[in-house]
Amino acid sequence: MVVPRAEVDRGSVGRCKDGAVASLAAVVIPVHDGARFLADALQSVADQHLDLEVVVVDDGSTDDSAQIALDLGATCIRQARRGPASARNAGIAASTAPLLTFLDADDLIRPGAIARQADYLAAHPDTDGVMGYQQYEVLDGVALPDWAVADKVGRPDETSRPNVFASVIRRSTFDRVGCFDPRFRLNEDGDWLMRANEMGAVIDVVSDVVRVRRIHGANLTYDTEGLRHWMFEALGERARRKRRAP
């Protein structure tokens, strides 16, 4: 996959002094004007205490996101704004590690999460990926988006859900299934998971909480109508694939 018109700066995280890659997994972090949160996200990656290839894709930011990424030792790709699906694809293309995981710039990886998921894949060689759960952190008392209200976030009976972006997935699985559909502005993970399932990929779900999803008032998922639109678009794409199948 070619990364179009992207400017790549190589940091030091996950690379040996001679330039050889010595990484267990690549952590791909898309960011658009996420300077407020990015350093915390990168610190949560550093706190994994693993050899990781860290790729931040600056998707047309107007703030200091790219400089923060470089200052903290990540590889940084700069591109014109194309959306998070395109940014994740650029990170996949720019990385080389055999395992892939994703982190939104405003979220955190729980300590030890990547090691536990990588160990699971090592113990289950026929599994394409392993998906964990998220916990939620509401910042500054902001109003909840509609999905969080429905999931009772912050209440004792809160619903936690597994998520593609709380997974570690083999690169070979993306080679087989393909990357995220860059047309999708939201729900690109749901669309990808449908395609993966159709192609027989085995994505196991474990009860481990591996991400902290922070709700801060400016998350893309406040766009309820957009979420609904792209969910139906994913379902429509699946129906069209079934009609085309022999």
Is the pLDDT confidence value at 109 over 50? Answer: yes
The topology under which CATH files domain 7-244 is Spore Coat Polysaccharide Biosynthesis Protein SpsA; Chain A (3.90.550)
Other Cβ atoms closer than 10 A to 88: 26
Give the mean model confidence (pLDDT) for residues 188-213. 97
What pLDDT does 15 receive? Answer: 38
pTM for the complete prediction? 0.89
* Tens of pLDDT, residues 115-169: 999 999 999 999 999 999 999 999 988 999 998 899 999 999 999 899 999 999 9
Is the pLDDT confidence value at 213 over 80? Answer: yes
Is the pLDDT confidence value at 171 over 60? Answer: yes
Q: What is the enclosing helix (H) or strand (E) of 203?
A: strand 203-215
What pLDDT does 46 receive? Answer: 97
What pLDDT does 173 receive? Answer: 98
Other Cβ atoms closer than 10 A to 20: 9
Kindly state the greatest CA–CA separation across the chain.
53
Is the pLDDT confidence value at 3 over 70? Answer: no
Partner residues linked to 108 by β-bridges? 212
Is the pLDDT confidence value at 10 over 60? Answer: no
What pLDDT does 9 receive? Answer: 56
Quote the CA–CA distance of 73 and 23 in Å, as a whole number: 14
Other Cβ atoms closer than 10 A to 6: 18
Q: How far is CA 84 from CA 1, 79, 112, 125, 182, in A?
A: 16, 11, 25, 30, 8
Which DSSP string do the residues of 25-54 spell out, in sequence order?
EEEEEEESS-HHHHHHHHHHHHTT-S-EEE
* Tens of pLDDT, residues 64-95: 999 999 999 999 999 999 999 999 999 999 99
For 232, the 3-state DSSP assignment is helix
Q: Which residues contact 109 (CB under 8 A, 6 or more apart)?
A: 27, 41, 44, 45, 47, 48, 101, 103, 210, 211, 212
